[in-house]
Structure 1
Amino acid sequence: MIKKNYFICIALLFSSFSSHIKAESVKPNINQTDVFAQNPKKNLAPIPLDSTKADNFIDIRGMGDSGMALTYRQPPSPDSNLGDGLPANFGVRLDRLDATGKSYRGDLSFLNWENVVGIRCNTFRGTSSRNSFTFVSHPENLAQAYERGFNLIGLANNHSWDCPRGENGLDGALMTASHMANLTQNLGANWLWHGVGKPQEKNVAVVQTMEIKGRSVRVAFASLYLGGACNNITCISDRDAILRSLRDAHADIRILSLHSWKDQTQQQLVNLGSSFIRQYNGDIVFGHGPHVWRPVTIVNKLSGKQGIMFQSLGNFIHPNLRARGQDMIGRVLIDADTFEIRQVQGIPLRVNSASATFEGSPNPSTIPTNNFTWRPINSPEWQEDVSPHIRGVYVNLPY
C-alpha cells in the first residue's frame, strides 16, 4: 500500500508540473505587438501604400524622368494648357494620377527632374532636330511637387545643361541652383536637392535631418550624371568625391541618384551603383536615363547588410517623353530602428508624356529583377483608398 501511494503521489506531482509548463508555454507575450513579431522578417506582409500605416518603417519612394517642359520652347506657364488641353502644372498632373497621394508619397519621395529650372532661357543648347531636345521648366512646378511630398530632387542629367545662357547671364545649371535655393527659402522647404551648383557645392553630398514619424533621421543624398558635360553639373569626374562624401556623411540613410545617357553609360551606372552600395555603405540607388525600366537588384554590402538598386525607374510625368510602357514607382521600407531594408515594392504605371495612370498599367510581375523573385501583392489593405487599378509586387529582405 505504501509503495502504491508513493507512485500515485509521483504521478500527481508530474501531472501538476506538466500542466504548469504547458500553461506557461502558451501564455501570450503582451510586449509582442510590433509588425516584426507578428510577421517573421521573411514572411512580412506587404506594407500598405498609406505611409501613415507603416509606423515601424521609413517609407522611401522613387519616380523616374520627370518635368514640365516642351523642347526648344520657353518654360510653359503653370496656368497655360498643353496640347492635351490640361494645365502645364505638375501638381495638377499628380492630382489626376492620385488625388490622395498615397501611391507616390512616402516619408521620402524622389524625382529625377530632367529639365533646367527657370523663367526664361535666352540661348538653348544646339538646334532643334529629331534627335536633339532641350527642356526648361517653370520653378512653380517643383513647388507643386514639394507640396505633394516630393523632398528628394535629383538634378544631374543630360538636360541639366540645356540652357547655356539663362536669366541674369547664368548658365542653365547655375540658374537651376538659384531657383532651387529661392524655392527652399520661400517654401521653408525641408528637402534635399543635388546635382547642380558651383564646383565646391556639386561634388559634396547633401545631408539633412528629417523628422519622420517622431524620429530624427539623417539622410545623405547625391545626384550624379554618367556623362561628361560637367560645367556646374555633378558628373563622372566627381564620382570619387561623391562616393567618399556619401560614405563619410554622418547619416542613417544614404541615397544616390544616377542618370545614364547611352548603353555604355547605363552599364557604368550599374557598376557605380553596385560599388556605392557594396563598398561605400550605400542603401538605395535610384537609376534613370533609358526611359524604360531596368532590373531591380539586391546588392550585398561588405558589412553583411543589403542595399537595393533600381537600375532604371523609366519615365514619370514629362510632356516630351513618349509612352514606352515600362515605367514604375520603386518603394523601399526601412526598419526605423535598425535602418536596414526590410521590404521592396514595385508599382507599375502607364505613362504617356504628361499623363500617368494606374489603369491599364503593365503586369507588375514583368518588372525585371536580377537576383530575386517578386511576390504578388494580393491584399485589399495594401491599396485601401487608392485607385482600384493599382497593382504591385514585393520582396522581403534579407533575401
Structure 2
Amino acid sequence: MIRILMFMMLSWPFGGEVDSAVHEAYAKDIGPVSGEKIDHVVSTYFEKSFTFAATGDVLIHDHLYEDVATESGYDFISRVDEVAPYLKNQDLVFLNQETPIGGEELRLSGYPAFNAPLETADLLEYLNADIVSLANNHALDRSTLGVEKTTEILNEKGIEYVGANASAEDAARERVIEVDGIEVGFLAYTYGTNGIPVPQGQEYLVNFIDMPTILSDMEALRDAVDLLVVSMHQGVEYAPLPREDHVIQFEQIAEAGADIVLGHHPHVLQPVDIYEREDGGETIIAYSLANFFSAQQDLQTKLGGIIEFDVRHQVNGGETAINGIRFMPTYVHSNEYTDFELVPLADAEAYGMADAADIYSDVSEHMRTYTDELEVVQYLE
C-alpha cells in the first residue's frame, strides 16, 4: 500500500510533471518510508497548506474603552480570552480595524468620530492579527494625524495594514504576506469617509471604491500572488442581505480574479456565497462579517464570527485552491454598557442569552442562505 502511494506521488502531475530538480531532491529525501516521512515529502515537494481566518469590525466605542479602563491603561485583552485561541491557531489572520488608533494625544472619542486608545494595537496583536484593513468610513475621523498615528503603531507591532496609507510611497507598496512559501495579496477599499474630505495633495491617505481603480490594482497584483483577497467596506447598515448593486460589484471583483472577497460596514452578518466564475474557478464572498468586538447593543450587532479557509497550494507552479470553509459565530456579551466580553455564540447561554440555541440555529441558517458548502461550527479546531 505504501509503495502504491509513493508511486502515485511521484507520478501525480498536480497540473504538470514535476521538473527534474524537484524529482532529484525528492528522490534523495525519501529515505525509509513512514507516515511522518510521507507527510514531509508531500508538504515539501507536492502540496503546501495553511489556514486563513478573517473577522469583522473591531469598533472601539467610548463605552467599550471606558469599561476596560484601569489605573495603568486599557485592558481589552482580558475581554477576548474566550475567542482569542481560535485566532491564535491560525496561520494567517485578517481583521477590519474600524477606528483610528490615535491614543490620548489625539483625544479619545466614540461615535460619531472615533479615536481609540493605543492599547487597541495590543488587542490586535493578542488576536494574532497579521494584517488589518483601515479602509473604512472612519479612516479620517482624526484626519491625516489619525492615519499616521495608526500606521505608526501598527508598524511598531509588526502588523501589516491595507486600505489606508501614511504616504504616497506607502500607498504604492504591495501588501503581500508569505505563508510557508505561498504568497497572499491583499487590497482594501471603502465607499467613503463620512463626508470628511481628503486633504488636498494627500489623496494617498485612503483607498476609495472606484471600479476602474480596483480592477487595475487587481490586474497589477494578481499574477504576483498565489491567493488574492479583496476587502470591501460598503453596504447598507443593519441590512441582513446585500443590495443587488453590491452583489453585482462583488461578482465583478470575483470575475477579475479575486479568490476571496470580504465585506464590512453593515455591522450585522450577511451570508457567504461561493461564486462560480466564467473561467471555471470559484471565489468565496462573505458579504458582511459584521461586528467582531464593539459596544453596539442590538442583538444582531452583537453577533459576529470568524470565517476560516483551508488553503492548499500545489508546489512547482501548480494552482492554489480553497478546500474548506468554516464559520464560528461569536457574541459580544454585556450588561448594557459594562462587562463586555467576546465569546463563542455556542457559549452564550452561560452568559445569560435567552434562546441561545435557537439564535445559533438562526445564524447558521442565515449564513448558509446562498450555499450549503459553508460549514457552521460551534468551535474551530
- The TM-score with structure 1 as length reference comes to 0.66
Matches of 1:261 and 1:202, distance apart in 2: 27
Structure 1's 284 and 376: CA in aligned 2 closer, same or farther, altered over 3 A? closer
Does the residue aligned with 1:276 lie in a helix, a strand or coil? helix
The answer on whether the counterparts of 1:196 and 1:233 sit within 8 Å (CA) in structure 2 is: yes
Matched residue, 1:260: 234
Matched residue, 2:113: 134
Alignment of 1:1-399 (within 5 A): 29-31=4-6, 56-70=48-62, 80=70, 88-98=74-84, 101-103=85-87, 105-120=89-104, 133-163=112-142, 171=143, 173-184=144-155, 186-187=156-157, 189=158, 191-197=159-165, 200=168, 206-210=174-178, 212=179, 215-227=180-192, 229=195, 231=198, 232-237=205-210, 239-249=211-221, 250-262=224-236, 267-278=244-255, 280-320=256-296, 322-324=298-300, 326-337=303-314, 338-352=319-333, 354-358=340-344, 359-360=347-348, 362-363=360-361, 365-374=364-373, 390-391=378-379
Matches of 1:157 and 1:111, distance apart in 2: 12
Residue 208 of structure 2 aligns with an amino acid whose one-letter code is C
- How many Å apart are 1:202 and its aligned residue? 7.8
Which segment is superposed worse, 55-64 or 248-257? 55-64
1:117-142 CA-partner distances (Å, limit 9, x unpaired): 102375899xx9xxx62321123322
More helix by share: 2
- How many Å apart are 1:331 and its aligned residue? 1.2
Give the gaps of 5 or more residues in structure 2. 13-46, 199-204, 335-339, 349-355
Matched residue, 1:42: none
Matches of 1:158 and 1:321, distance apart in 2: 20
The answer on whether the counterparts of 1:194 and 1:205 sit within 8 Å (CA) in structure 2 is: no
Query: RMSD of the alignment, in Å?
Result: 3.6
Structure 1's 114 and 340: CA in aligned 2 closer, same or farther, altered over 3 A? same
Identity level (%): 19
Structure 1's 259 and 376: CA in aligned 2 closer, same or farther, altered over 3 A? closer
Structure 1's 271 and 92: CA in aligned 2 closer, same or farther, altered over 3 A? farther
Matches of 1:157 and 1:321, distance apart in 2: 21
Residue 330 of structure 1 aligns with an amino acid whose one-letter code is I
The answer on whether the counterparts of 1:118 and 1:138 sit within 8 Å (CA) in structure 2 is: yes
- How many Å apart are 1:350 and its aligned residue? 1.8
Matches of 1:270 and 1:194, distance apart in 2: 23
Structure 1's 227 and 198: CA in aligned 2 closer, same or farther, altered over 3 A? same
The answer on whether the counterparts of 2:106 and 2:115 sit within 8 Å (CA) in structure 1 is: no
The answer on whether the counterparts of 1:323 and 1:351 sit within 8 Å (CA) in structure 2 is: no
The answer on whether the counterparts of 1:93 and 1:317 sit within 8 Å (CA) in structure 2 is: no
Give the gaps of 5 or more residues in structure 1. 1-25, 38-54, 82-86, 164-170, 379-389, 394-399
Structure 1's 122 and 268: CA in aligned 2 closer, same or farther, altered over 3 A? farther
The answer on whether the counterparts of 2:108 and 2:116 sit within 8 Å (CA) in structure 1 is: no
- How many Å apart are 1:60 and its aligned residue? 1.0
Structure 1's 305 and 174: CA in aligned 2 closer, same or farther, altered over 3 A? farther
- How many Å apart are 1:300 and its aligned residue? 2.0
Structure 1's 63 and 205: CA in aligned 2 closer, same or farther, altered over 3 A? farther
How many residues align? The count is: 308
1:94-115 CA-partner distances (Å, limit 9, x unpaired): 32434xx235642211111111
The answer on whether the counterparts of 1:283 and 1:306 sit within 8 Å (CA) in structure 2 is: yes
Matches of 1:284 and 1:93, distance apart in 2: 29
Residue 306 of structure 1 aligns with an amino acid whose one-letter code is E
1:181-215 CA-partner distances (Å, limit 9, x unpaired): 3431x33x2x43112236846865733242x2xx2
Does the residue aligned with 1:150 lie in a helix, a strand or coil? coil
Matched residue, 1:387: none
Structure 1's 375 and 253: CA in aligned 2 closer, same or farther, altered over 3 A? closer
Does the residue aligned with 1:142 lie in a helix, a strand or coil? helix
Residue 255 of structure 1 aligns with an amino acid whose one-letter code is V
Does the residue aligned with 1:95 lie in a helix, a strand or coil? coil
Structure 1's 205 and 242: CA in aligned 2 closer, same or farther, altered over 3 A? farther
Does the residue aligned with 1:271 lie in a helix, a strand or coil? helix
